[in-house]
Amino acid sequence: MNRLKNLLTINTWPDNLKYLALATFLMSMSLALKDTTFTNFANDLGIQPDQLGWIESIREVPGLLTVVMAMLTYLITESLLAALSLIALSLGMFIFSISTGFYWLVGASLIYSIGFHLFYPLQSAMALKMVSKEDSGKQLGLMGSIGSTAQLLGMGSVIILSQLLEIRHIFLIGMVLAFFGALTLFKMPRPEVHLKPKTLIFRKRYKFYYLLTFLSGCRRHIFTIFAPFVLVKIFDVNITTMATLMTVNQFLNIYTKQRIGKLIDAMGEKVALTINYGSLIFIFLGYAYSKSIMILFGLYILDNICFGFNMAVSTYLNKICSDEDLGPSLAMGSTINHIAAIFIPIIGGILWDTHGYQTVFYAGAIIVAISLVVTLSIKELGIKGLPEMKHSA
């Protein structure tokens, strides 16, 4: 019944929003094909842990350029820039398909990442302008569901495609999907209202939010980069198994995130984050010590579930932040997260090469333990969550 209601809702959307939804679906499928296959592909090319760290670090650099790239919307329309971003993403996928070593993967990742980091803020801004303010949450939620469903289908399709095709050919399918997404956006009429550039602020009273965001970025990038590489490089997990594992994770994302949000509302940010960080310490130590592939699979899935608790960091900010500071503060949080993403992969790769992969996860456990200490030290963060308070500007 809910699916039928969603289909009926989409049918009432204006054509521009339907074009955007289709482009989002195609891009999300392309993204899923790349994310599911990249670790095995890098391992097949003989990429070493320190090289993987550099690839992932360079891939995150365009995330710091979002504010600069948003200025481009004063020169060309949003739909045209979004279409060009998907062409860049498509070009990156093509270069992945012909890559033969480290420098090829660096170039492919950088071009792909420029397209990815351009498209997502544009997609959100364009969608908000096409729906009523009263209905924006529901419609954006439906748009998000379209993207999540596409990622689930993309990851699931790798299970079958990996039995029939080389990984290079899967990248080519992703290239075609992204390119057709770009063609869809070219159908949208122009001119359109332009984006306002994002602004960033840094205020002392939000220091705990900045710190928790930074630590979260550090630990997340350690796990998402090196945990799959452990499975593939150390335990020889093949691409079909990795695709199955990621498909399970994506399915759980759709199922658990809303429920985790309700748990955060019910028990408060302090309890939610304490449970989260306490669990993550054991997950990281488990990856360092365990030699059981089934246990490692279970820990990989548990980390994916725990990631949903990061919403508590944002809800904490919302309760201490003035309304006019909220958007710029979230943008600053995204920037801080990308700063962590630039140097953490390099450090992780060096630690793996010099002291073994276990050291990477020991470091992750220490970062999570620091996050737990910070959470417990926030005096304004009570056991039942914060009262509804907003600082004046």
Segment 295-301 mean pLDDT: 94
Nearest Cα residue to 96 out of 21, 25, 48, 44? 44
Is 306 contained in some domain? yes
Nearest Cα residue to 192 out of 16, 13, 15, 12? 16
Q: Are residues 151 and 97 in the same domain?
A: yes
State the pTM of this model.
0.79
Q: Are residues 178 and 282 in the same domain?
A: no
Q: Please check the confidence at residue 388 and state whether its pLDDT lies above 50.
A: no
Q: Which domain CATH number covers 271? A: 1.20.1250.20
Q: Are residues 174 and 217 in the same domain?
A: no
Among 186, 216, 236, which residue terminates a domain?
186
- Residue with more model confidence, 368 or 141: 368
Q: Are residues 75 and 8 in the same domain?
A: yes
Is 382 contained in some domain? no
Q: Are residues 120 and 259 in the same domain?
A: no
Those residues whose C-beta lies under 8 Å from the C-beta of residue 253, and which sit 6 or more positions away, are: 148, 304, 308
Query: For the chain, what is the domain count?
Result: 2
Q: Which domain holds residue 253?
A: 204-377
Is 102 contained in some domain? yes
Segment 190-211 mean pLDDT: 66
Is 388 contained in some domain? no
What's the pLDDT tens digit per position in 92-127?
999 999 999 999 999 999 999 888 888 877 776 677
Is 197 contained in some domain? no
Q: Are residues 224 and 88 in the same domain?
A: no
Integer-rounded Cα Rg, in Å, for the chain is: 21
What's the pLDDT tens digit per position in 138-193?
566 567 678 888 888 998 899 999 889 899 999 999 999 999 999 998 877 655 54
Q: Are residues 36 and 176 in the same domain?
A: yes
Is 83 contained in some domain? yes
Q: Are residues 147 and 271 in the same domain?
A: no
CA 328, CA 120: separation in Å to the nearest integer? 17
Is 27 contained in some domain? yes
* 13, burial (CB in 10 Å: exposed 0-12, middle 13-18, buried 19+): middle
Q: What integer pLDDT is reported at residue 310 of this predicted model?
A: 81
State the alpha helices, DSSP H only, in the chain: 2-11, 15-44, 49-60, 66-70, 78-98, 102-130, 136-164, 167-186, 207-229, 239-267, 269-289, 293-306, 311-320, 323-355, 357-377
CA 216, CA 210: separation in Å to the nearest integer? 10
Q: Are residues 213 and 360 in the same domain?
A: yes
Q: What are the Cα distances from residue 26, in Å, to 89, 103, 182, 382?
A: 12, 27, 9, 43
